[in-house]
Chain A
Amino acid sequence: MDEAQSLAVQQKKVIEEGKGEKTVPSRYYVPNADIYETDDALTIVLEVPGVERKDLSVSLENDVLRIEGQIDFSKYDGFEPVYSEYNVGHFARAFTLSDKIDPEGISAASEDGVLTLTLKKSRQAAPRRIAIQ
């Protein structure tokens, strides 16, 4: 085996009933996420395969960043399943942000089933030198 490791299947984690507070009876999964920080921004990368751009929603309320992706099941109309290795469902996940994030400076992009959110840090969060009196 060379330097690149071979990929393993990641089992989807279903959102427990009652916790996700969903009112529609369909299954929601927690999308896999990477979070990394650079000097001026925090980036959240989420895997939402099968969700079209128009069916993605990102909202910010009371410092909670909520991401939802809806699967369009009509694409499976007329498809009779014969063999199955993974389950299909909507995606939802929420993150609580610290006050270091500038709520006006959040941008989102999606490509190949991956949603990338870039959260700009607020000015206050930039390191500040405090003068000693």
Chain B
Amino acid sequence: MNFSDPFEALLGLQRALDAYRSSNWLGSGTSGGGAFPPINVFRKGDTFVAVTEVPGIKKSDIDIQIEGNTIRLAGTKSIDYSGKASIHRRERLAGRFDRAITIPVEIDTERVKAEYQDGILSISLPPHEREKPRSIKIS
């Protein structure tokens, strides 16, 4: 089992950076951080993978759009209480969401794959051919 925690280290750094930015030293940012759904981005080889937690949202209620290097996630989370139930505790939230994130490379939209399982949406974002390094022979 792996006890080192890359999430914690990165999240701590990210929070520090966010705090720094929100202190208005650098003016307003553009990342859209803090919006729903929260997104983690990973790199596997040269492919980026965006993973997001959307428990209780149906596959059909999520709309994914990709253009250039921007991914837009929009949809609705609805919570259905059966008929005349009396609610004792309500911690889950329902509502609309619509956010975009930008990754640093152009995405090959033809090869994007999205998987949804157990409330986790995982979008694999391969870079466009134009982003691949080319070796140039010296004549």
Contact = CB atoms under 8 A, between A and B. Distances in A.
A and B are interacting partners: yes
A112 B58 contact: yes
Interface string A20-31: 000001110000
Contacts of B5: 27
A50 B43 contact: no
Interface of A: 2, 4-10, 25-27, 32-39, 43, 45, 47-53, 73, 76, 78-88, 110, 112-114
Interface of B: 1-3, 5-8, 10-11, 14, 33-44, 48-49, 53-59, 76-77, 79, 81-98, 116-120
Q: Which of B10, B11, B40, B59 has the most CB of A within 10 A?
A: B40
A54 to B, nearest CB: 11
B29 to A, nearest CB: 13
A81 B94 contact: no
Contacts of B6: 81
Nearest to B76: A4
A86 B53 contact: yes
Given A79-B43, A85-B38, A6 B10 contact: no
Given A9-B35, A85-B33, A34 B7 contact: no
Given A47-B92, A50-B118, 14 more contacts: A5-B95, A7-B94, A9-B37, A34-B90, A36-B85, A43-B85, A47-B55, A47-B119, A49-B54, A81-B6, A82-B48, A86-B38, A88-B40, A113-B54
Residues of A contacting B: mostly: loop
A31 to B, nearest CB: 9
Nearest to A50: B120
Given A34-B87, A37-B88, A73-B2, A8 B93 contact: yes
Given A32-B92, A43-B85, A84 B43 contact: no
Contact of A5 (B37, B41, B90, B96): B96
Contact of A76 (B36, B42, B84): B42
Given A10-B93, A25-B3, A81-B6, A36 B48 contact: no
B86 A36 contact: yes
Contact of B85 (A37, A48, A50): A37
Given A81-B6, A81-B7, A83-B41, A7 B55 contact: no
16 contacts: A6-B96, A25-B3, A26-B1, A26-B3, A32-B91, A34-B81, A34-B87, A36-B88, A37-B88, A38-B85, A49-B120, A52-B118, A79-B42, A85-B40, A86-B11, A88-B40
